[in-house]
Structure 1
Amino acid sequence: MTGTRRYNAVAMTLHWLIAIAIIGMIFFGWWAGDLPNSTQKLNYFQIHKSVGLTILVLSVARLIWRLTHKTPPYPEQMKAWEKTAATAVHWAFYVLIIAMPLAGWLMVSSSPLGIPTRFFFLFEWPHLPILPGLPRDTKETLDAVFENVHSKMAWVILALLALHVGAALKHQFVERIDLLQRMIPIPFSKK
């Protein structure tokens, strides 16, 4: 497969950094959420929020990169509906990798607890405007809505991930379409 049929290094780096961070964050968030309330739990959530904001920044950068750089074509052996489905899943991921950390930021900003976000314990990351100044009952309602949306997106991401990885492996190993070369950083050959 030629270099023009592969994503460039920036796209690959952002893809793998964001993918690993999101998967880790989902399980870390679930684990930390089940801990008893303590200072340590608050510190874990400061890390969770910091990584989430980093994912948001990287995801916006990835979307900008995607909109300004041509992607390699799908292999000709893929059926038209498979290409359409793959494109739809990719765009769903773009929406989710931005919407999920944004929902977390909205949740933190509307929390009636008003706990500041200490970005990797270095400085205070601001809450989104307007939300912290709302009446307590409104903040409680919004906080619950944003928390629900944030947590449900984790399940959607995991379902899409299973579909994405399953399809890639099917194309690569069942249909023998050299698809993984597009996004695997180290080229390999079937030969």
Structure 2
Amino acid sequence: MNERHAPGYSTLQITLHWVIAALVAFQLLFGEGMTNVREAAEEGATSSGVDFAASIGHYWFGIAILALVLVRLGVRLTQGVPPHPVAAPTWMGWAAKLVHWAFYLMLVAMPVLGLLTVYVSDEFGDIHKLGKPVFLALIAVHVLAALYHQFIKKDGALRRILVPAR
């Protein structure tokens, strides 16, 4: 079924997806800078310039993620999403929905928890830190499913987030 192609997401949805993905990658790679700066401050020490820059980026990229995800949710609720490939079993559709909504939950909860950590209590930081392995697991499932659809099912599912609908 190489020629079957599910309709794609809109250009806006695709752009939001990849921008948010890039911001999340930064957060996962450089989020420790925020922890290092906070720990150094608690000890009365100075933090490195790299950690300080990473912490500033982590803060503002988190806010950007929250704003962009709220836009993405609004677009999803108004424009909907393209249908799953015709050949996909029902359980795959449910699994995809579960993973996508888990992403949305995490993409809203993590920045909110980060802001609560900064402005309310460090205790929210303990919950915030638990999000990293959850994100990594969701990303792994998401990427593996995309690769499965692309190279095993060959059903055009990956194309939906690469090529905008016309």
TM-score normalised by the chain length of structure 2: 0.84
1:12 equivalent in alignment to 2:14: yes
Amino acid paired to 1:62: R
Cα RMSD between the aligned structures?
A: 2.3
Q: 1:159 to 1:49 in 2, by over 3 A?
A: same
**Offset from partner CA, 1:71-113 (integer Å, 9 cap, x none):** 1100011110001000110011111111101110010012xxx
Give the number of aligned pairs: 155
Q: 1:24 to 1:185 in 2, by over 3 A?
A: farther
SS in 1 for 2:122: helix
SS in 2 for 1:5: coil
State the partner residue of 1:76: 86
Amino acid paired to 1:95: L
1:31 Cα offset (Å): 5.1
1:47 Cα offset (Å): 2.1
After the TM superposition, list the runs of 4 or more consecutive aligned residues in structure 1 that deviate by more than 6 angstroms. 1-4
**Offset from partner CA, 1:114-146 (integer Å, 9 cap, x none):** xxxxxxxxxxxxxxxxxxxxxxxxxxxx422x1
What CA distance in whole angstroms lies between the structure 2 residues aligned with 1:46 and 1:34? 12
Amino acid paired to 1:38: S
Larger Rg: 1
1:87 equivalent in alignment to 2:89: no
What CA distance in whole angstroms lies between the structure 2 residues aligned with 1:22 and 1:64? 19
What CA distance in whole angstroms lies between the structure 2 residues aligned with 1:179 and 1:64? 22
1:149 Cα offset (Å): 1.4
* More helix, by proportion: 2
RCO higher in structure (CA 8 A, sep ≥6): 2
What CA distance in whole angstroms lies between the structure 2 residues aligned with 1:2 and 1:176? 8
What CA distance in whole angstroms lies between the structure 2 residues aligned with 1:32 and 1:95? 22
